[in-house]
Structure 1
Amino acid sequence: MKFRSPITLLFSFASFQACKRSCEDQLVRYPFGSGPECGDPRFQTSVTCDQEKLTLTIHTGTYNIETVDYDNHVVYILDPSMTTCTTFPPSKVIVLDWDSPFTFTEGNFFALLGCSITSSPLYKSRNGDNGTVVPLCDNEGAPLCSLLYSCPAISNQNLPISSCCVYTPVDLGPAFDMDLQKLQCVSYAAVYSFNGQDLKPESWKYGVALKYKFSVKNDFPSACNICERSNGVCGYTGAYNLFICNCAGGVNTTTDCYFSASWNNCVKLLSWKPGFFIT
């Protein structure tokens, strides 16, 4: 059978595994996927749909992804051990792997809480030029600390405001190691948006914003763009992780899903075959 279009399509019927466009109520788009061979293989182990919840697994644990900004390539996670205006748990270390496709965004505000004023390295950093003491805390972050320390969950700890450090560890590289034990701090709060309520910490958006990259140039793959426009889901297959466009019913093509719907009945009839070409 001949198409008018000269495009050659490869249909695969090996598994009929359909990639989902959502994980419960969360949209799932490239580079993330709902299961094996869905999305980009570089993100397969880090972002998964676990029990109908989109999660991120990094060096220090697994975190729920609250939302994804696909236009700006940012995921927002909530660390359950992080302090907010209503909770003050002992925080853990949060570290990104050195080869991670994620980096911390510049829009994050990290407030380290209950830090030792006398022995924390945050207050003992030295300028290499003249040896003067230059704290790693941002002096302009003092108002942020005052507002945070007014929250009941934090004020009940009876910690002096001076033990709060608004910290931007740009000198530790893109995967910075925020080791609270090493920094001698009790907990931390992360804010990625003040939600238009600068003076109301109870209304701020707490969490960590992480930027993700597809590749060195961070270009969105054109083949994936075409696939998604045809209501397909971008995926990969085989030992070399070759691109596939996953269509309704689990049909995989090498281009798009515009023609797959017409062949759904044929696909079901020939599902016993490992694959065939149509030209």
Structure 2
Amino acid sequence: MAPPPPLPTLLLTTLLSLFSSSTSAPPTTTACRDTCGSTQVKYPFGTGHGCGSPLFSPYVTCGSNGTGDQLFLKSHTGSYPVSSISYTTSTITLSPPSMSTCSSMHPSSTNFGLDWTSPFQIASSTFLLLSCQPPTTSLSSPICDPSFDYLCASLYSCPAVVALGLPLFPPSNTCCVYSPANLDGKGELDLKAMKCGAYASVVSLGDNPTDPTHWVYGVALKYSFGGALDNNYGTTKCSGCESSGGVCGFAPPGNGFVCVCKGGYNTSLDCSTTFNQNQDYVWDSSSANHIFFTSWHVWSPILAGFIFCLV
């Protein structure tokens, strides 16, 4: 058996090992931003993996719409641009590409749908099913609300209706106000099953309910967060993170809360805590140089003194 190394050599090897380990921690999160295009992004939403809430991250992300960045909600039926977010009412509004409006009507080639596992559900949206065939739109149909027939008449006054293969002012029984709107067992608005060719969705009728050119089109969704599924520990700490200029995120193991700071570091506290004061520092790739020089600043005088003693 070989003799153990001399004590000075062993101590030097140990110090070098500690120095090496302090500069080689793996990255934990991607860069997170507080805006995506013109939309302010706050918890529980995020701009990429590791940002926002781990419950929302698989469904909402920031991507390109061809001219700039925009938030998108993803589901098993497609990807839907997020046109607005109300953080006070916990509501987001989508603009599905397959949706018709007064200025642009077209057959819907895909169903609108949500994942049942997502934290979203349909809110106060009025769905108008267009280019339908009886008996879907008969007065005895359980999916149609005849008290809103005036909305069909108003929308069918839009010249774009001809794009559906219908004449101007088509028969009102080819339109159905689907109220209350509901998704099927697959989480979809199945137009084919309801014998309709297109749909419009309205979140606000504006000041003139009979003028479809001033309606606000979109699909409004309510969302909820907090509790065990959404890491309530992180939810309670997020307000302090955002108040200090940080962006809330999460990191392994266990999707633990992190506050992503603009200074190039992540912390489990908030961005008002500096690196030297914060014992809960979480290393990421953007902090590599900072960690390296901080570690060298700490260890270099120790190593220099030790080597001096050896010689």
Common fold by TM > 0.5: yes
Deviation (angstroms), 1:19:
1.5
Q: Does 1:38 align with 2:51?
A: yes
Deviation (angstroms), 1:271:
1.8
Query: Between Structure 1 and Structure 2, which shows a larger proportion of helix residues?
Result: 2
Structure 1, residues 237-276: CA drift from partner, whole Å, max 9, x if none? 1130000111113311111111238879xx776423899x
SS of aligned partner of 1:162? helix
- Matched residue, 1:63: 80
AA aligned opposite 2:156:
Y
Structure 1, residues 130-168: CA drift from partner, whole Å, max 9, x if none? xxx453201111111110111111266223111111002
Contact (CA 8 Å) 1:18, 1:249: kept in 2 or not?
no
Contact (CA 8 Å) 1:29, 1:233: kept in 2 or not?
yes
Provide the rounded CA distance (Å) in 2 between the counterparts of 1:57 and 1:254.
29
SS of aligned partner of 1:146? helix
Q: Which runs of 5+ in 2 are unaligned?
A: 1-23, 279-286, 296-311
Tell me the C-alpha RMSD between the 2 structures: 3.0
TM-score w.r.t. the length of structure 2 is 0.72
AA aligned opposite 1:182:
A
Distance 1:274 1:210, change over 3 A: farther
TM-score w.r.t. the length of structure 1 is 0.80
State the structure with bigger RCO (CA 8 A, min sep 6), 1 or 2: 1
| Residue of 64, 83, 88 corresponding to 2:105 | 88
Q: How does 1:1-279 map to 2 (within 5 A)?
A: 14-15=26-27, 17-51=30-64, 52-91=69-108, 92-105=110-123, 107-118=124-135, 120=136, 123=138, 133-154=140-161, 157-158=166-167, 159-169=170-180, 176-215=187-226, 221-260=235-274, 270-272=290-292
Contact (CA 8 Å) 2:226, 2:235: kept in 1 or not?
no
SS of aligned partner of 1:181? coil
Structure ID, larger Rg: 2
Distance 1:49 1:211, change over 3 A: same
Deviation (angstroms), 1:226:
1.4
Structure 1, residues 205-233: CA drift from partner, whole Å, max 9, x if none? 11101111114699892211111111111
Distance 1:273 1:168, change over 3 A: farther
Structure 1, residues 34-89: CA drift from partner, whole Å, max 9, x if none? 12211011111211111221111112100111111111111111111111101111
Structure 1, residues 155-189: CA drift from partner, whole Å, max 9, x if none? 66223111111002556579853100010001101
